[in-house]
Amino acid sequence: MAEENEGFESVEKEILDDNDWVVLGVGAAVAPRYEGSDDYQVSPIPIVDVQKGRFFARLGDGIGLHVIDTKNFLVGVGVDWMQGYDEEDVPDGIGDLDGEPGGKVFASARFGGVIASLSGTQVLDEGSEEERGLKGLIVDAELSYPYPLTERLMLVPATSVSWANASYMDSYFGIDASSAAASGLDIHEPSAGVKDVSLRVGFNYRINENWNLTGAVGVSRLMGDAADSPLVESESQPNALVGISYEF
Are residues 117 and 106 in contact, defined by beta-carbon separation less than 8 angstroms? yes
Task: Please write the tens of the pLDDT for every residue from 33-50.
Answer: 999 999 999 999 999 999
Task: Please write the tens of the pLDDT for every residue from 120-129.
Answer: 999 998 776 6
In whole angstroms, give the CA distance from residue 231 to residue 84: 13
Residue-level pLDDT at 15: 47
In whole angstroms, give the CA distance from residue 3 to residue 239: 9
Is 90 exceeded by the pLDDT of residue 17? Answer: no
Domain boundaries, the chain: 8-247
Phi, psi of 169 (to 5 degrees): -60, -40
Residue-level pLDDT at 1: 45
Residue-level pLDDT at 81: 95
Phi, psi of 137 (to 5 degrees): -125, 140
Is 60 exceeded by the pLDDT of residue 4? Answer: no
- Among residues 118, 126, 130, 85, which one has the least CA distance to residue 102? 126
- Among residues 80, 86, 82, which one has the least CA distance to residue 37? 86
The pLDDT mean for the chain works out to 92
Task: Please write the tens of the pLDDT for every residue from 22-35.
Answer: 999 999 999 999 99
In whole angstroms, give the CA distance from residue 202 to residue 51: 21
- Among residues 11, 23, 72, 17, which one has the least CA distance to residue 211? 23
Is 80 exceeded by the pLDDT of residue 12? Answer: no
Residue-level pLDDT at 2: 45
Residue-level pLDDT at 129: 65
- Among residues 215, 209, 213, which one has the least CA distance to residue 248? 209
Q: What percent of the chain has pLDDT over 90?
A: 87
pLDDT band for position 19 (50/70/90)? Answer: confident
Are residues 5 and 195 in contact, defined by beta-carbon separation less than 8 angstroms? no
Predicted TM-score (pTM) of the model is: 0.90
**CATH class entry, domain 8-247:** mainly beta
